[in-house]
């Protein structure tokens, strides 16, 4: 049994530039648990319990789902706070470009998991890149900081099946599925 998710990974330039902007600010709020830059992603489907027996079917379904989607541009900018700014549990950047395409990819990812017999968690899809977690921070100041950052845009060429090794801290990409009519690269 594995805890997994399907995700779009940001490009190296995005990770490097965003990390540089956050570096001097991370110590400013001791209660925030920062997600390491190499763990940043845009989740399209979250699956808390993927049985080993469902893995092959899940990968096959995700490969087919990815083939049905053309590559697209996605952009992140501006702060988001979940569930709301006064009592934030998640501090994130909002998806501001390619939101419809990402939502469609999410719907396909979730359907692929369901067809493999894997339960998908989560409600309405809201595209975001999680930067930090907290148990109830007032994030108004942080939203202003994130709103001052530039926008980052990159081309989405693939979707990844990722396993959670240490929740919120360390993930391992298990398979990559190129968008459009090509094949998958399984990494195990």
Q: Where are the domains of the chain?
A: 2-186
Q: Is 41 one of the catalytic residues?
A: yes
CB atoms within 10 A of CB 110: 21
| Torsional sign, CA 29, 30, 33, 36 | positive
Q: Is 128 one of the catalytic residues?
A: yes
Number of H-type helices and E-type strands within the chain:
4, 10
Position 188 scores a pLDDT of: 46
Q: What is the pLDDT of residues 5-63, one digit of tens each?
A: 999 999 999 999 999 999 988 887 768 899 999 999 999 999 999 999 999 999 999 99
Active-site position among 8, 9, 41, 43: 41
pLDDT at position 138 over 90: no
Active-site position among 108, 110, 128, 176: 128
> What architecture is the 2-186 domain classified under in CATH?
Alpha-Beta Complex (3.90)
Mean pLDDT taken over the chain: 91
Distances (CA, A) of 70 to 35, 60, 161: 29, 18, 18
Do strands 152-156 and 72-82 pair parallel, antiparallel, or not at all (unpaired)? Answer: antiparallel
């Amino acid at each position: 049994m594995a805890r997994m998710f399907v995700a779009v990974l940001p490009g190296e330039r995005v990770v490097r530039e965003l990390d540089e902007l956050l570096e001097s600010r991370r110590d400013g709020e001791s209660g925030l648990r920062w997600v390491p830059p190499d763990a940043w992603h845009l989740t399209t489907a979250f699956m808390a319990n993927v049985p080993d027996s469902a893995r092959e079917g899940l990968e096959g379904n995700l490969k087919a789902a990815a083939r049905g989607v053309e590559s697209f541009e996605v952009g992140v900018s501006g702060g988001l706070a979940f569930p709301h700014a006064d009592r934030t549990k998640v501090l994130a950047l909002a998806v501001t470009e390619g939101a419809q395409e990402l939502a469609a990819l999410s719907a396909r990812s979730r359907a692929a998991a369901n067809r493999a017999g894997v339960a998908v968690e989560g409600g309405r899809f809201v595209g975001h890149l999680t930067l930090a977690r907290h148990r109830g921070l007032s994030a108004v100041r942080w939203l202003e900081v994130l709103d001052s950052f530039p926008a980052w845009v990159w081309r989405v060429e693939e979707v990844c099946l990722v396993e959670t090794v240490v929740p919120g801290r360390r993930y391992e990409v298990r398979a990559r599925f190129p968008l459009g009519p090509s094949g998958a690269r399984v990494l195990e």
